[in-house]
Amino acid sequence: MFENLSGRLDQIFTSLRRKGKLSEQDVDFALREIRLALLEADVHYNVVKQFTTRIKERTVGQTISNALNPAQQIFRIVHDELVAMLGEPAPLAFSGPKPHVLMMVGLQGSGKTTAAAKIAKRLRLSGERVLLVAADIYRPAAVKQLQTLGEQVGVPVYSDETKKPPAIVKDAYDLAKKNGTSLVIVDTAGRSQLDDMLMEELANINKKVPVNETLLVLDAMIGQEALPIAEGFRDSIALTGLMLTKMDGDARGGASISIRSVTGVPIKFLGTGEGIDAIEQYDSSRLASRILGMGDVIGLIEKVETTFEADEAEINAERLLKGEFNLEDFAEQLRQVRKMGPFSQILSMLPGVNQQMMSQIDGQQAEKELSKTEAIINSMTKKERQNPVLLNASRRRRIASGSGTTVQDVNRLMKQFRESQKLMKRLKKTGGRGMIPKDLFQ
């Protein structure tokens, strides 16, 4: 989402780094370029004005011009102010007797129902006993959608389409209290626009049960329209937080940067894809680092931890080092890696991978190659995957035909697999010494 903005900011700081000492004119020019980059990214005008004013105040005088590395100092100031603009992280806050209640609100099409299921899975894995409540009785198939998602994430769903939403939520709350459930997540109805009927219904739910958290789900792709929607909900009900969905989209993303400053409501979660695991707890420092091209190693580690089972990963690592890793293991690892999200998204989380590097990497081609590799391995028999030595010329022709690839593709994969096995065996013998070619980063 922030690709264009990151690219522009990277160009600005690259230009500053070439200058050594900076004059006041250099700083003014950089601030003007930063202002234009933010405005083009759809950041709210008043937010941009306040942002650049604060940076200007911190860069005035001798501190910057006499610094040993003034470009880095300005970069640090911009990072700090960007974090301040994005707002402090605000995790879910539950207090009082259980069950606690989390109410999801938003307009139609914002991804509210899926967001409820994503949060339910996240909190269930953290030890909460969760109940989802289908309180959207107006949208066709809304109840069925939540029930399907509930099965997918292993969380029960309460529904009763014969009653009004406030009564449904009250019955679900009473049931949760009786059964020792610790958290009730309510998926409320959305509308195509803000209206009094929607707000009255949400207020009535608040009267029926003690709501601890009210999260407004917003589609990050709608740009500046998100701001008046958030303000409308905030002025009508007691919002405690925001969740921005579709953060993996290709919109300009400026509203996502503006929304905390404009509304005063903290962002608590980000939806980063369609998958049920594609959710992140909001962290302004990590988001600022991504925008400035510094990557997000912590986010990448979290993706790995949620995708791979720790015990299984340890066993596979041991087999890999012993040279016992076969194509069946490789296919399973490939499937796990693909669950982490698009290849380009994973690369963007690595530090030092700037927009110029990203532009040289064809993410779609990389995905295509991964799909081709998976198709080749899936076209093998189980015996062939476990013992690749069996793959003679006729078997390779059969595999190529079955996977829609060529014999050359199959041969290339087998060569890469053999080289990997050799590398791992050498790695175990040498402890990693001398394993990285000297020209790797040239």
Domain 3-86 grouped into CATH 1.20.120.140: yes
Angle at 45 (CA atoms; ends 39, 51), nearest 5 degrees: 85
What pLDDT, on the 0 to 100 scale, is given for residue 212? 94
Superfamily of domain 100-294: P-loop containing nucleotide triphosphate hydrolases (3.40.50.300)
% the chain with pLDDT above 70: 76
% the chain with pLDDT above 90: 28
Distances, alpha carbon 433 to alpha carbons 319, 320, 324, 429, 440, in Å? 20, 18, 21, 9, 15
The predicted-structure confidence for 124-178, as pLDDT tens digits, reads as follows: 998 999 999 999 998 888 999 999 999 999 999 999 989 999 999 999 999 999 9
Q: Which has more confidence, 73 or 313?
A: 73
What pLDDT, on the 0 to 100 scale, is given for residue 193? 75
The predicted-structure confidence for 52-98, as pLDDT tens digits, reads as follows: 898 888 876 555 555 556 777 788 888 888 888 888 888 888 888 99
Lowest mean pLDDT among 180-189, 302-311, 383-392: 302-311
Q: What is the mean pLDDT of the chain?
A: 80
pLDDT at 302 > cutoff 60: no
Lowest mean pLDDT among 51-60, 285-294, 322-331, 421-430: 421-430
Tokens of 220: 């990050």
Angle at 167 (CA atoms; ends 164, 169), nearest 5 degrees: 105
Parallel, antiparallel, or unpaired for β 267-271 and 279-281? antiparallel
Mean pLDDT of 243-251: 77
pLDDT at 202 > cutoff 70: yes
pLDDT at 262 > cutoff 60: yes
Lowest mean pLDDT among 2-11, 228-237, 241-250, 317-326: 317-326
Distances, alpha carbon 410 to alpha carbons 196, 337, 386, 393, 406, in Å? 62, 21, 16, 10, 7
Mean pLDDT of 317-332: 67
SS3 call for 127: coil
What pLDDT, on the 0 to 100 scale, is given for residue 178? 94
The predicted-structure confidence for 86-110, as pLDDT tens digits, reads as follows: 888 888 888 889 999 999 999 888 8
What pLDDT, on the 0 to 100 scale, is given for residue 430? 56
SS3 call for 315: helix
Match domain 302-430 to its CATH number in 1.10.260.30, 1.10.1040.10, 3.30.70.140, 1.10.340.30: 1.10.260.30
Domain boundaries, given as residue ranges, for the chain: 3-86, 100-294, 302-430
Task: Output phi, psi for 89, to 5 deg.
Answer: -60, 140
12: Cβ contacts below 8 Å, ≥ 6 apart: 30, 33, 34, 37
154: Cβ contacts below 8 Å, ≥ 6 apart: 121, 124
Q: Which has more confidence, 90 or 394?
A: 394
What pLDDT, on the 0 to 100 scale, is given for residue 417? 81
Q: Which has more confidence, 377 or 442?
A: 377
Helices (H), 340-441: 343-348, 355-360, 363-378, 382-386, 393-403, 407-430
